[in-house]
Amino acid sequence: MQARLRPARLATIAAGAVLVLSVVSKSGWPLVAAGVAMVAIVIAGGARLESRRRPELWVFATTVVNIQLFLALGTVITGGPVTPMACLQAVPVLMLGARFSRRGLLVGFPTALVLVVATTLGVDPQHVFENPETLAIPVALVLTTAFYTSPLVASDMRHREESTLDELTGLLNRRAFAPRFAELAQQAALNGQPVSVVAVDIDRFKRVNDDHGHAAGDDVLRAIAGAFRERLRTFELLYRMGGDEFLLVLPGADAATASDIADALRRAVIALQPAGLAMTCSCGVATAQGDEAAFELLLEQADAALYAAKRRGRVDPATVRAAA
């Protein structure tokens, strides 16, 4: 998203520069200094985002809030309600829709309204009372921008969920795995920590569909996915790769830890008896350290360990480790 919005960000900076230059004769150089500071903060906020723990909060603070405050300052310097600059508070609201979820919009939109009121009614209430449109127009513009942006944000979020979430189990799907693993691999290379993956396959799942129907098979998959989620922590990522295949990604877990987690999942399936059926699963573990974490290699090793576990016996399958 950062790369896709770069042209829009540059256009916004250019438009801001033109705006500042157009009013510099009235406002003087303080607004120019504020504009330079705003641009510097925006550029600094966009640097090294990949290495930041919460990049979305950093972008929100250095871009959206920064621009909101700059526009508020510019409105006050150029005359408050006398200038139409308060209307530009609608621009950060559009930025929120392009960059953040509805939660971000719910934070930034009221902030824009407060700043509009503060920079018009708060600066010259007499002028606003005599010319109510100086407050009504920017408020109406911010409101309509937010109201039209909100369903677009909701639609975009729904599209993302539909493209990355498995409809049957609610787990992340194969499409969501590659980009997330790339981030984890980059983190592992930086901090030298291990990354483990666990390939999980439901034993003889085809018989469930053949003997009891696909509805029963769906019930089994949903129940097993739920049991897995209950036993995993929030940062342990579980994916349904297709059919009865699951993949667990464990940042920071070595082979021994990953094997223990895999064995816990295996025992959970045995105890669950989903849809009243006695089920088992097989697991294969692969682990890589630091910059050795490679997407394709770990998947191949986890699959090899999985099939080795199946060969050793499906009734009480063993977890086989494959160290990268």
Q: What is the pLDDT of residues 22-31, one digit of tens each?
A: 766 766 677 7
Kindly list the domain boundaries of the chain, sorted by start residue. Answer: 6-164, 172-323
Which tokens hold the place of 89? 């508070």
* Residue 7, number of CB atoms within 10 A of its CB: 9
Domain 172-323 part of CATH 3.30.70.270:
yes
Q: Computed from CA positions of residues 115, 119, 123, 125, in that sequence, does the dihedral angle turn out positive or negative?
A: negative
Token digits for 46? Answer: 């966009």
Question: What does the pLDDT read at residue 151?
Answer: 76
Distance CA(168)–CA(151), nearest Å, equals 25
246 or 31, which is more confident: 246
Q: In this predicted structure, what is the pLDDT of residue 124?
A: 92
Burial readout 47-63 (b: 16 or more C-beta within 10 A, e: otherwise): eeeeeeeebeebbbebb
Report pLDDT for 78: 83
How far apart, in whole angstroms, are the C-alpha atoms of residue 111 and residue 132? 21
More confident residue, 27 or 131: 131
Q: Are 237 and 294 in contact (CB under 8 A)?
A: no
Distance CA 56, CA 65 (A): 12
pLDDT at position 123 is 92
Q: Are 102 and 150 in contact (CB under 8 A)?
A: yes
Average pLDDT over residues 213-233: 90
The residues pairing with 195 across neighbouring beta strands, listed in sequence order, are 251, 288
Dihedral sign computed on CA atoms, order 252, 255, 261, 265: positive
Residue 115 confidence (pLDDT) above 60: yes
Is 321 in contact with 259 (CB distance < 8 Å)?
A: yes
DSSP code, position 60 = I
- Say what the pLDDT of residue 176 is: 77
Strand partners, 172: 165, 239
Q: What is the pTM of this model?
A: 0.51
Residue-level length of the chain: 324
Residue 98 has pLDDT above 80, yes or no: no
Residue keyed to tokens 């981030």: 183
pLDDT-derived band of residue 319, with 50, 70 and 90 as boundaries? very low
Q: Which of 5, 13, 137 is nearest to 67 (CA)?
A: 13
Directed axis angle between helix 255-272 and helix 214-230, to 10°?
130
The model's confidence at residue 139, banded by pLDDT at 50, 70 and 90, is very high
**Residues forming beta bridges with residue 199, ordered by sequence position:** 247, 284
